[in-house]
Amino acid sequence: MFSPRFHSEQRRHLLRAATAFPAGLLLASCGGGGGSGDGGFGTFPPTPPTSTTAKVTDRRILVAPDVSLHVRDWQSDRLGGTTFVLLPGFGATAAHFNSLALALAQRGRAIAISCRGFGQSDKPLPDATHPYDTDTLVHDVHEVLEALGIGRIVLAGHSIAGNQVTRFAGRYPERVRGLVYLDTNFDYTTATPDGSKEGESDNPALTEPSPTDADNASVAAAIAFNKRINQSWSAPMEADLLDKLQVNADGSVQNNTPAEVMAAMYKAARLFSPDYRPLRTPALALTTLPGDRQHMFPWLPARIDAATEKDASDMLQLFQAARTKDAAQLLAALPPGSLQKTFQPANHTDFFIAHEAEVLGLIDAMAWR
């Protein structure tokens, strides 16, 4: 198997949390406002930066005695511009940001990091010396910045990497100029500890398919499978997939992350409850909502039976409500001047690719110092 089932877990988490949330906070997310002051959008849309050239360099950076990370480093000729550091979500790699990072580099510099255990980074099996907890991943990010001589940054994290964003900003406030949460949850610890499917439909058609042996028979078959289960496909998504594949002698493929590593990181992330109180800089929180069942269940055919149609519609409505509440709770916990924007219709996996121009505009409009 090479396609982690994290999106289904995220749906369960949000649905489970839907009934345990103060309804009054919902108003905070309507209209995208969560405070005022230096973090405001200012004039929108802002003037885009002058076009520059940007060159990407692939690096390997030692972050522990026997752990090196794959880092993609886009640099432009805008010396003194903003440095953006991008952290991929669970199971993804630095390549997932190939398009967004190239655009951000026009503003100065952009760095994307494949965390330990994934992509082209080293993958030590988890033990006392090689943990996969949030503090270790945050330390790894700090070591990358130290190795590259980078000072203050705008730190962005997709999905569960929001844990790292919050922890890094709390531990190293002097290094943080701004924060971007790319469709991340308020707190992942409220998920069902045993991984049970509470809040998930019993209809098997609504469960994200796993690849068969035929889907793993070759690189081309793996790409075809992922195209079928995603609503859209793009060059960054394909590059991310290729970074995650191990090609065997017979041409078949498998996930290059050991199952033990995947399990250890997933468990550790679920045990980390973010503390937003130490944050001192405004954050931009971007949220996605599916517009219809094709956004939430893209593997379903256009025509389905009435029972599955109803189950999908019910799940869609529950998820939309839960996601809206969760986004409002995140916004309420962030420092004054933080702002939230919801993209709908949009997909969790690729919204910052599909809506890149709007994402860039929102980042440009943040008055980070």
Residue-wise DSSP of 36-104: -STTS--SSSPPPPPP--EEEEEEEEEEETTEEEEEEEEEES-TT-EEEEEE--TT--GGGGHHHHHHH
Counted domains in the chain: 1
Neighbours of 93 (CB within 10 A): 27
Question: How distant, in Å, are the alpha carbons of 108, 159, 184, 223, 279 from that of 163?
Answer: 25, 9, 8, 29, 13
Residue pointed to by tokens 């996605």: 288
Q: Identify whether 260 is part of a domain.
A: yes
Backbone angles phi and psi of 221, in degrees to 5: -65, -40
Q: Identify whether 1 is part of a domain.
A: no
Question: CATH number of the domain that 114 lies in?
Answer: 3.40.50.1820
The whole domain housing 167 covers: 6-365
123/159 Cα distance (integer angstroms): 21
8/325 Cα distance (integer angstroms): 18
Which among 2, 17, 4, 69 has a CA at the least distance from the CA of 263? Answer: 4
Supply the pLDDT for residue 159: 96
The angle subtended at Cα 189 by Cα 32 and Cα 63, nearest 5°, is 90
Q: Where are the beta strands (DSSP E) in 248-332?
A: 253-255, 283-288
227/216 Cα distance (integer angstroms): 13
Supply the pLDDT for residue 40: 34
CB 116 within 8 A of CB 123: yes
Residue pointed to by tokens 């702002």: 339
Residue pointed to by tokens 């079928």: 228
Supply the pLDDT for residue 328: 96
pTM: 0.87
Which among 201, 195, 183 has a CA at the least distance from the CA of 300? Answer: 201
Supply the pLDDT for residue 295: 87
Tens of pLDDT, residue by residue, the chain (369 residues): 444 444 555 445 444 444 333 333 222 333 233 332 333 333 333 445 555 678 999 999 999 999 999 999 999 887 789 999 999 999 999 999 999 999 999 999 999 999 999 999 999 999 999 999 999 999 999 999 999 999 999 999 999 999 999 999 999 999 999 999 999 999 999 754 444 444 567 899 999 999 999 999 999 999 999 999 998 999 999 999 999 999 999 999 999 999 999 999 999 999 999 999 999 999 999 999 999 998 899 999 999 999 999 999 999 999 999 999 999 999 999 999 999 999 999 999 999 999 999 999 999 999 887
Supply the pLDDT for residue 317: 94
Neighbours of 45 (CB within 10 A): 13
Q: Identify whether 317 is part of a domain.
A: yes
